[in-house]
Amino acid sequence: MGTVNAAAPRPMRSDAQRNYDRILEVASAAFAEKGVLTSLDDIACRAGVGPGTLYRHFPSRDCLIAAALGESLGRLDALAGRLKASDDPGAALDEWLLAVANHLRTYDNLPESIAEAFRTEDSPLRASCRPLTETTSLLVRRAKEAGAIRADVEPLDIFALVSSVAWASQRRGDSDAGLRRMLALATTGIR
């Protein structure tokens, strides 16, 4: 073909970009303050746009959540890079799981949304978790090879375990220390 390739993503129009940014900014704040179940119309309103505009940019709540999670995800990614180079696979996995659990607590009710997203094939929120599950898989494999954890636990089980601990600690309003404790308790069994 003549054109370079499939999606030539022509840049957003300036007003569109501006609105996109404003919505994202307001949404992040709202999610942080009231959890991911906040009214979307309300977010649109606070961002000074109509509901239609919000839904055009982010067709579903999950899209918006996924976008708002970008920053936290970036931090996780940086950590992942460091941990992949670690020479203590057991400790690396521990640190990673704690970081993932904390990520899941970024917003109230986030664990529920993510768990739900995992039930539908093409959820944007699930897609945003991709690097997260992949890193988990890698670190689990390394830990197994190093004999730091049992050979018969699957990465997905571990992810589920961490999610559920994040869920519980959020429901209980636990502190960071509380999360750490629960996570340690729940993950003892993988060793």
> Which of 54, 58, 63 shows the shortest CA–CA distance to 19?
54
Distance in Å, CB of 55 to DNA, minimum:
4
Instruction: Give me the least distance between CB of 53 and DNA, in Å please.
Output: 4
Is 133 one of the binding residues for its own copies (CB under 8 A)?
no
> Which member of 35, 90, 118, 127 binds its own copies (CB under 8 A)?
118
Cβ burial 144-161 (10 Å sphere, 16+ → b, else e): beeebbeeebebeebbeb
> CB-wise, 47 or 165, nearer to its own copies?
165
Q: Residue 166 CB, nearest distance to its own copies (Å)?
A: 9
Q: What is the token pair recorded at 16?
A: 């569109």
Of 33, 42, 71, 145, the one binding DNA by CB under 7 A: 42
- In whole angstroms, what is the distance from residue 178 CA to residue 27 CA? 28
Of these, 27, 49, 114, 149, which contacts DNA (CB under 7 A)?
49
CB closer to DNA, 50 vs 74? 50
Tokens of 185: 């308790």
Cα(70)–Cα(65) distance, rounded to whole angstroms?
Answer: 9
Task: Report if residue 172 touches DNA, rule: CB under 7 A.
Answer: no
**Between 31 and 159, whose beta carbon lies closer to DNA?**
31
Residue 136 token pair: 């988990």
CA–CA dist 91, 28 (Å, integer) = 32
Query: Both tokens of residue 84?
Result: 């992949």
The residues binding its own copies (CB under 8 A) are: 112, 115-116, 118-119, 153, 157, 160-161, 163-165, 167-168, 171-173, 181-182, 184-190
